[in-house]
Amino acid sequence: MSRNFALAAGQIAMALVFIGVMALAAYRSELNREQRIAEQIHVERVMVKQLVDLRQRLQHDLIVGAVGTSAAHDGVRIVGLNSPSAASSKPQPTGDDFAEISQALAGQGWDNSASADVTGSITDAPSPTSPPAAMPGQAPVMGVVSIKGQAYAAAAARGATPAVALQPLNLTFLDKLSRAAGVAPMRIADASATPPHAAHIDISRQLDATGVSAPHLVLQWQPKRPGDLVLIRDGLILMGATVLIALIMIGYLHSAMKKLRASEAQAQRLAGFDKLTDLPNRSQFGHLLALETGRSRRAQSSCALLYVDIDRFKEINDTCGQEAGDKLIQGTASRIASLLQPGDRLARIDGDEFAILQTEIVSARDCEVLATKIHNSLRQPIDLGNIEIRVRVSIGIAMFPADASSDDEMTQAASSALALAKKEGRDRFVFFEKMLGDDMKMRRTREEELRKAIETGNLVVHYQPIMSADGLRLSCVEALVRWPHPLGGLVPPDEFIALAEDRGLILPLGEYVLRQACRDGRRWPGVRVAVNVSPIQFRQKDFAKIVERVLTEENFDPTRLELELTEGVVIADADEAEAIMFDLRGQGIRLALDDFGMGYSSLVYLRRFAFDKIKIDKSFLESMESTGESAIILHSLIHLGRALGLTVTAEGIETPEQHRFLQAAGAHELQGFLFSRPVPREQIDRILAAQRTYDDPDAADQSRSVA
Ligand code: C2E
Ligand code: CA
Ligand code: CA
């Protein structure tokens, strides 16, 4: 639909461009015409001015005379002089006269030599119609200068012929003239051959005056064309503006269409029906369910609610396209519809989720039969155009009044049954069981309690020492969170971290532990503090920034902080993880790969990501006694870490034998109940104090003497 609008907008834009171009074209030719006329007038003025200037210089009369070539273009002839006196024969000018004229002409840039020659020729051929014998070259001649006034009178008195100077219109002169007038180079052309756009001035006027027939000659040049410039510049502006307007129109129409579609969908929703399948939607189905439970209650009959969810619909949608996804939904809907009894209702309550209200049931067996039929029917492939797909569905079933006493409870029960069907591996149906509901309720209470504990800071952080390989020196402590529960005692993290991750509580929890660890860590100069980071925490936006902020606010040295990450952190988005790790290390923070050896491809990650340390998982130690293999693996893991230049820490050391083994194998640091369990911070204070006493002989002497 919006494509049609784009097309229409495009067409309007094209029409606008067309009209604009036509108007511009008319404007252009008018501008060009005006320029041509202006240039013509200007050139004429320049020529006249040159002649006037010359006349003033010579103090003689000056006449622009006739010009022409012979009809055969084989020579130049003077065809007439429009001076009334020029036609009659007059006394010759003297050599002095000629020299004077010649000098003056040369000073004006007129062709001196030509004057001399022509003078001669006129002398020889006083008749205006006979060709001048001594005319140089083939170039037409422009100015014919005759003299009158004093010199003329003197010459006439001597009985001499008037002196005549000619300026051939050769290229040199034309170029000079063009430059003086500031126009494009001029050339001589036949008037009949002048192109319409060319500017020209007539140089044959004098010919007509003499009545001699000769080719109609013009001085011709290419005038400037301001109209063309306007066309290009304004045309571009016009097109740009039009395209912009078209784009704005398209954008506007697009958003208008979107709004229209949205309100259409809204109307559909209000009308209670799903557009794609024509089935009732969630809200409409809600009414139906309420009516039916009410009716069942009154009639003391039973009904059932089945939630049907297409397995991995998103994958199908992503790989085959939305159109195929739509077909799949429609196909599934009509398959299910064909299996229902009169009185049963089918609805589409979500993208890939259907609800069936099964009425008039006697026992759970009726639901089982329907669910089995649905599975079997959908095993027949559905044609999506290019491919056929066998649909798998998960079904959750709840019955009224056996499982629920209201329509609300019924939807909750069906939802949790569906969740269980999915959890148990999909492609199955699961009946709601009361236990399921109790479990959910307990989870919800726990979640609330945990939320409150985080908000009120009612969590404690214990610290477990990490020792040097000889087991004598505490080099690091690992922060491990505990939740003091009014009923459950000190709840270990394994029992609530997953819940926190699930319910979006891990972010405040993680920040709480980090802050507490930094605050406590300030008590122990020279000791590193390790903090566990959940993959969800790590993936949050600005994780590195948050850590930086906490460090600054708690005034804790970043080089003493160690973050323990698991493979989960880097598996999800390796590039993103790499960037965050780069940022953290830039702050001086050390990064440890926790539970090393447990994951899929630790080795790959170790090579790619910049860890400072690995913590070998305690499960290797646990199984070392039972299998010799674990000892070998432990050995090689330690060697691997050392070879990569990493600090190697072993976890879970409970016995002196394990300690000896790991020390011999080359682990740098050791952690385990053998040295200490996780303890409150005051206990770490005491351990460090004892260590100082042991380290410092004076203090040791003193303490011995005190003892
Ligand atoms: P983890 O990071 O592997 O932490 C070490 C766990 O091993 C701790 O359990 C510790 O008490 C236990 N442990 C230490 N030495 C020994 C030993 O010699 N033998 C045995 N059997 N166990 C030992 P804890 O404190 O119950 O913590 C469990 C897990 O909870 C931690 O495993 C960590 O993954 C997670 N966790 C703890 N605190 C936090 C936290 O603040 N944030 C996050 N995201 N996770 C945390
Ligand atoms: Ca850890
Ligand atoms: Ca660990």
Report how far apart, in Å, the C-alpha atoms of 680 and of each of 227, 486, 514 are: 90, 19, 15
Q: Give the position, in ligand 1's atom list, of the atom nearest the Cα of 506.
A: 44
Which of 651, 662, 683 for mutating ligand 1's site (highest number of atoms within 8 Å of CB)? 651
Task: Give whichever of 157-161, 380-384, 630-634 has the largest mean pLDDT.
Answer: 380-384
Task: Give whichever of 59-73, 150-164, 629-643 has the largest mean pLDDT.
Answer: 629-643
Helix (H), strand (E) at residue 395: strand 393-400
Distance CA 68, CA 59 (A): 27
Which of 450, 466, 480, 623 for mutating ligand 1's site (highest number of atoms within 8 Å of CB)? 480
Give nearest CA residue, ligand 1 atom 34: 532
Q: Which residue has the tokens 């949205």?
A: 262
> From ligand 3's centre to the CA of 671, what distance in Å?
10
Q: Is the pLDDT of residue 86 over 90?
A: no
Ligand 1: which residues within 6 Å by Cβ? Answer: 464, 480-481, 492-494, 497, 510, 513, 532, 534, 564, 594-595, 618, 651-654, 671-673, 678
**Residues near ligand 2 ion, CB 5 Å cutoff:** 532, 564, 594
What fold is seen in the domain 282-432? Alpha-Beta Plaits (3.30.70)
Neighbours of 220 (CB within 10 A): 20
Q: Give the position, in ligand 1's atom list, of the atom nearest the Cα of 564.
A: 2
Q: Which residue has the tokens 């007439």?
A: 80
What is the per-residue pLDDT for 418?
94
Q: Which of the four pLDDT bands, split at 50, 70 and 90, describes residue 269?
A: low
- Ligand nearest to the backbone CA of 534: 1
Q: Is 330 exposed, middle or buried (0-12, 13-18, 19+ CB in 10 A)?
A: middle
Q: Give the position, in ligand 1's atom list, of the atom nearest the Cα of 481.
A: 38
Q: Report pLDDT digits (tens) over 114-146.
A: 333 333 333 322 233 333 322 333 344 444 444
Give backbone dihedrals phi and psi of 184, rounded to 5 degrees, phi first.
Answer: -65, 155
Ordered by start, the domain boundaries in the chain are 2-119+136-226, 282-432, 444-697
Distance CA 422, CA 396 (A): 9
What is the per-residue pLDDT for 154?
56
Q: Is the pLDDT of residue 606 over 80?
A: no
> From ligand 1's centre to the CA of 480, what distance in Å?
6
Q: Which residue has the higher pLDDT, 175 or 419?
A: 419
What is the per-residue pLDDT for 233?
84
Query: What is the second-level CATH architecture of the domain 444-697?
Result: Alpha-Beta Barrel (3.20)
Q: What's the rounded mean pLDDT across residues 263-281?
A: 81
The mean pLDDT value of the chain amounts to 78
Q: Which of the four pLDDT bands, split at 50, 70 and 90, describes residue 157?
A: low
Q: Is the pLDDT of residue 394 over 90?
A: yes
Contact 78, 128 (CB under 8 A): yes
Distance CA 675, CA 653 (A): 8
What is the per-residue pLDDT for 92?
37
Q: Which residue has the tokens 């195929």?
A: 324
**Residues near ligand 3 ion, CB 5 Å cutoff:** 594-595
Q: Give the position, in ligand 1's atom list, of the atom nearest the Cα of 531.
A: 41
Task: Show the tokens assigned to 212.
Answer: 């001699």
- Ligand nearest to the backbone CA of 615: 3
What is the per-residue pLDDT for 99?
53
> From ligand 2's centre to the CA of 623, what distance in Å?
19
Distance CA 328, CA 331 (A): 5
Distance CA 347, CA 273 (A): 9
Report how far apart, in Å, the C-alpha atoms of 648 and of each of 281, 471, 505 are: 58, 14, 32
Q: Is the pLDDT of residue 501 over 90?
A: no
Mode of pairing for the β-strands spanning 382-383 and 388-389? antiparallel
Distance CA 398, CA 409 (A): 9
> From ligand 1's centre to the CA of 481, what distance in Å?
9
Q: What's the rounded mean pLDDT across residues 552-558?
A: 97
What is the per-residue pLDDT for 639?
92
Q: Give the position, in ligand 1's atom list, of the atom nearest the Cα of 673.
A: 18
Distance CA 643, CA 657 (A): 25
Give the whole-number percent of the chain exceeding pLDDT 90: 37
Outline where 59-199 has alpha helix (H).
95-107, 112-124, 149-158, 171-181
Which amino acid, 294? G
Q: Is the pLDDT of residue 54 over 70?
A: no
Of 175-184, 201-210, 495-504, the least confident:
201-210
Q: Which of the four pLDDT bands, split at 50, 70 and 90, describes residue 436?
A: low
Mode of pairing for the β-strands spanning 561-565 and 528-532? parallel
Give the whole-number percent of the chain exceeding pLDDT 70: 76
- Residue 94 C-alpha from the chain's centroid: 89
Q: Is the pLDDT of residue 235 over 70?
A: yes
What is the per-residue pLDDT for 112?
37
Q: What's the rounded mean pLDDT across residues 531-540?
A: 91
Q: Report pLDDT digits (tens) over 561-598.
A: 999 998 877 766 778 888 999 999 999 999 999 988 77
